[in-house]
Structure 1
Amino acid sequence: MINTILNFTNKNDILDKCIYASIKNAVMSGAYPSLSEEIAWDGNNYLFQNMEGIRGVIAFSNDIFVCGVRNEKKYEEGRENIFFKLLNSASEKVLKLAEEELLPYFLVESENENIPALSMIFWGENDMILSCVNESEVMERSEFSLLPYVYNFNDLEKYWIDCYEPNKEQLVLVNQIFQKRLVCNKFRLSNNQKEKLINWFGDNVEYCEERFNEIGIGIPDL
């Protein structure tokens, strides 16, 4: 049975929230290098994890997306099992995206072979978000790690402020970069923005640079 879930959001909103989270992470990686690996991009795939056994990927395509999460406490193993229990009745293009861009991130070793292992999947298509599990299960199986990507933007901003505790200047910088990234896929920070990062973080600005590069944002002459 397919459930319609998260009917208050859509693919573009989720993508924007992933970009916002990435920019916040990129800036604040200078202050907290150990957190820099919690969020990353691999092409069009957004990767997130925490230190408590949650790993997630949101794979974006032109008109669809697929999100998968593995909770180390409980998950389904094997391609056929996952397709039957977590992707049943999904369209061919959703299955193709899941096969090519989602499952490879979730391999575990079982009986001397690598097989995918996932706790839940949902996908967006035709302005709907669908899943073989209901909305409350999606949140519970992911231990609510998806909340930052479905919050409204005011709550989203508060969430990341609580996580990273940026000062007012850092928050202003994040929002400036985010607004520009919404209209320009590739650009470089200004010299003034670069100097702010260096003043705040010194040599740790290299962690910022690495994360910014993943989303098409350069830092001049580092």
Structure 2
Amino acid sequence: MMEINISPKQLYEGCIQAAIAHAVAVGMYPELNYEHSWDGINYSMNDSQGCRATITFHADYIIAVFQDIHKVDWNIDALNFFDGASEEIIQIANNEALQYVLEDVEGAIKPVISTAFWGTWEQLKSVQSLDEIIENGGYIIRSQLLSYHVAMDEWRDYYNLDTQQITLIQKLFDQKINSNGERLALEDDEIQLLYGDLEECLVSLGELKFFKK
């Protein structure tokens, strides 16, 4: 078990930014609606190329699991990646993050992962080095670990966002980060910047506790 050089705060804020950018743009690209989603305290990603991940943002702990089908060893128990973790973290991992990477392995339904990390809001740890984590699926959160403006440039290019949408993402991001988990009302002028399939946008924003008044 070793400490890894990932800032928990940066990771969380990067995931919020990515999910909001996705939510603002998904109406234009509804076929990509599976790429980012929030379910309670769990943030999930899927790159459609064989890699998916879920990060659990618990009040006290952060737990991230990655499943790269090109890297998994189907014979390794997922909990082997949590060697040295506390019983509480293992319990949360079993109840939350690992529920999103279940597979049928010879008739048994069990979580299958290629890497993982866990820890508190102060420090993250893993049985693998950061380089190994990235190689085994962690690359899917590369953009989430960038500074806000560098990541925004990537999301702008990926979704072909205009200036108004970028401003909206910044506004919604600031509201979400400072919300303390409360529900947030979307103003009419904000909704007008959700192009394409409005319902797709509202579903994704609803997962982040934004709602249409």
The TM-score with structure 1 as length reference comes to 0.89
The answer for the alignment partner of 1:214 in structure 2 is 207
Q: CA deviation at 1:64?
A: 0.7
Aligned residues with identical type, % of pairs: 24
- For the pair 1:22 / 2:15, whether they are aligned, the reply is no
Distance 2:135 2:119 in 1: 19
Q: Is the 8 A contact 2:77 2:112 kept in 1?
A: no
Structure 1 segments, 4+ long, off by >3 Å, are none
Structure ID, larger Rg: 1
Alignment of 1:124-135 (within 5 A): 124-125=119-120, 127-135=122-130
Distance 2:193 2:3 in 1: 44
Distance 1:105 1:76 in 2: 17
Alignment of 1:131-170 (within 5 A): 131-142=126-137, 144-170=139-165
Relative to 1, partners in 2 of residues 1:171 and 1:126: Cα closer, same or farther, differing over 3 Å?
Answer: closer
The answer for the alignment partner of 2:59 in structure 1 is 62
Distance 1:196 1:28 in 2: 10
Deviations 1:192-217 (A, max 9, x none): 112232xx32xx11100110110100
Judging by fraction of residues, say which structure has more helix: 1
The letter of the residue matching 1:5 is I
Distance 2:16 2:39 in 1: 13
Q: Is the 8 A contact 1:56 1:68 kept in 2?
A: yes
Q: Is the 8 A contact 2:52 2:140 kept in 1?
A: no
Q: Is the 8 A contact 1:77 1:115 kept in 2?
A: no
The answer for the alignment partner of 2:4 in structure 1 is 5
The TM-score with structure 2 as length reference comes to 0.93
Deviations 1:103-148 (A, max 9, x none): 2211111222212110000012261110101110111111611212
Alignment of 1:1-222 (within 5 A): 2-7=1-6, 9-10=7-8, 12-77=9-74, 81-84=77-80, 86-125=81-120, 127-142=122-137, 144-184=139-179, 185-197=182-194, 200-201=195-196, 204-220=197-213
Q: CA deviation at 1:175?
A: 0.8
Distance 2:162 2:5 in 1: 32
Q: Is the 8 A contact 2:63 2:117 kept in 1?
A: yes
Aligned-partner SS, 1:118: coil
CA-based RMSD of the aligned residues comes to: 1.6
Instruction: List gaps (5 residues or longer) in structure 2.
Output: none
